[in-house]
Structure 1
Amino acid sequence: MNLKSAVFNLNNLFVLLFVLSAFGLEDHLKRSAQNDYALGFILLLEVSFFIVLFLARKDEQRTLIMDTFAIISTSLFVWLMLTAKLNILPEDIFKAPGVIVKQFLGDYLRLIVDIGCSLSIIVIGFTLALSAAIPLGLFLAFNARTGRAFSSVASFLGSIPPVVFIPYTLALLPSFKACSIFIIFITSFWPILTSTMNGVLNVDSKIINSAKVLNLKKAQILFKIILPASLPQVFSGCNIAISLSFIMLTSAEMIGGGSGLGFYIQYYARFGNFTRIMVGLVVLGIVVSTVTYILRKIENRFFRWKE
């Protein structure tokens, strides 16, 4: 990538428009804009853009980075215009970008604790689901007849929304953390189990028959042939499971939690504090996007041949 492409692109255009609008146009008299905080954030975003752009190795990655940052900067510019400058969106509900940034800086210590609480529950529940679903899926689907029969049962049980279990877990389990871990376990278990079984059932029978001709033991066939061949579908199930887990955890924290991002949003929703609600939503989106990005990078690392 040349210097011209790095400088003259849609992202930088909207960053420039954002800066010029923030300080060149007057704020609406009835709104608090906090333009200094907005400027600091957009400049940090711009620095991050150049760092990530020059660290990318392929042209496809650079194009994706430019498109992604262009969407973000465009959204921020439109957000600024609709709130602080034109006052089209109601101020009581939709705050200006600078107001959100200022509130985040005021609450970041608490948000770090809440993020840690939410991620710890996700990690424990998701790990338990992985430990249970993958071996069970391999065992059930190793016998094709059993696998096809149980896949229907798994589809039925997996279609039950995990949120219906929240009242029962709150009544039966000793703490909210245990309830949340169980909900994440149930949420992650079925997608991983189903994807593992489908992965095993979709392994080419010719490969398995060739292994049998070579007198390989069942354990060798299962762990050296079937498991590696089914891993791409297992990862697909994991990606679905992690996204659903965050949705369910947020719902659970809103219902009965005492910490976590869901509780942060719900707590301030009771008082109509839309500034902190928006802060919580933005932070939640960033956390979920970061986790899914890390999983995708791990998947690409293991399965480079898929690219």
Structure 2
Amino acid sequence: MKKAFKQNWGIGCIGIGLILGYWLATDAFRVLDPFLFVGPSKVLPAFAKSAGKLFEGLLSSLKLLVPAYALAVVLGVSLGVVIGLVVPLRRNITPYITALSAVPVTLITPFAIHVFSTFYTASVFVIFLGAFWPILGTTIAGVVTIDKRYLDNAATLEIRGLEKMFRVVLPAAAPTIFAGCSIALKFSFILLTVAEMFGATSGMGYFVQYYSDFARFDMVIVGFIFMALILVGIMILFDLIKRRALAWTLNS
């Protein structure tokens, strides 16, 4: 307990400072526009009042986020490893990956709605695509930048096929792959709001968008805070998994 407090007291102090600063700028001295920047005196009651809706929206959002992100990780890592290892394939396909990944995912939304049979499938596709490109790109980069000595040693020891993949290639590229997965996870939350703007009747992004349309900025701020807390919680869990998987590389 004492160790955890020593490691995280700085985080707590910064959080208290931010809350205090916001309170001073809103409820205390009204430096910020009270219509847009609703103070804690109104946000906290709104948070308590809407807690049921928020957690209902969380479950709805996870139904979109989990399958989309999981599919992006599986396909992004699998294809990235293959493209990274096969030089002719990488040389010929990399320009197309660069071109396609440059297209903003939000612009593809109308096409996704038209192509897919349901709004749910279209929403999952939008989130998947946004997460897929960073994972694919970082996986290719991770494989390409593996120290050649590792591959030479594997060849000397006659390590081939799947054994080479899981004992040499993936462990060596893992730090870069995890970095891409982390970026993709954060980006997925941004796209969640976009995906829930069409055809959704609940969800964290829908909650923010719905109350924003009615200029209920107290509820909008509640939605922002809730999404931020959920993302922080997920990232803490992600970092725990990463630390366990990359214990041999991290200096924490």
Q: TM-score, normalised by structure 1?
A: 0.76
Q: Bigger relative contact order, structure 1 or 2, given CA contacts below 8 A and separation 6+?
A: 2
| 1:24 equivalent in structure 2 | none
Matched residue of 2:96: which SS? helix
Distance (whole Å) between structure 2 residues aligned to residue 120 and residue 208 of structure 1: 40
Matched residue of 1:254: which SS? coil
CA shift, 1:255, in A, is 4.5
CA shift, 1:149, in A, is 3.9
1:257 to 2:204 alignment = no
CA shift, 1:198, in A, is 1.3
2:2 to 36, 54, 76: 54
Q: Which amino acid aligns with 1:121?
A: L
| 2:146 equivalent in structure 1 | 203
Distance (whole Å) between structure 1 residues aligned to residue 193 and residue 74 of structure 2: 23
CA shift, 1:278, in A, is 0.8
Distance (whole Å) between structure 2 residues aligned to residue 89 and residue 214 of structure 1: 66
2:72 to 114, 129, 139: 129
Runs (5+) with no aligned partner, structure 2:
none
Residues 215 and 79 of structure 1, relative CA distance in 2, 3 Å threshold: closer
Give the aligned CA root-mean-square deviation in angstroms. 1.8
Residues 161 and 139 of structure 1, relative CA distance in 2, 3 Å threshold: same
Residues 84 and 149 of structure 1, relative CA distance in 2, 3 Å threshold: same
Q: Which amino acid aligns with 2:54?
A: L
| 1:212 equivalent in structure 2 | 155
Distance (whole Å) between structure 1 residues aligned to residue 88 and residue 217 of structure 2: 54
String of CA shifts for 1:38-73, please: whole Å, max 9, x gaps.
xxxxxxxxxxxxxxx6351xxxx724x222111111
1:282 to 2:230 alignment = no
| 1:19 equivalent in structure 2 | none
| 2:237 equivalent in structure 1 | 294
Q: How does 1:60-139 map to 2 (within 5 A)?
A: 62-63=6-7, 65-139=8-82
String of CA shifts for 1:235-290, please: whole Å, max 9, x gaps.
11100111111111112223543211111111111211111111111111111222
Matched residue of 1:304: which SS? coil
Distance (whole Å) between structure 1 residues aligned to residue 49 and residue 106 of structure 2: 33
Q: Which amino acid aligns with 1:221?
A: K
1:303 to 2:246 alignment = yes
Larger Rg: 1
Assess if the C-alpha contact under 8 Å between 1:191 and 1:238 holds in 2. Answer: yes
Q: Which amino acid aligns with 2:185?
A: I
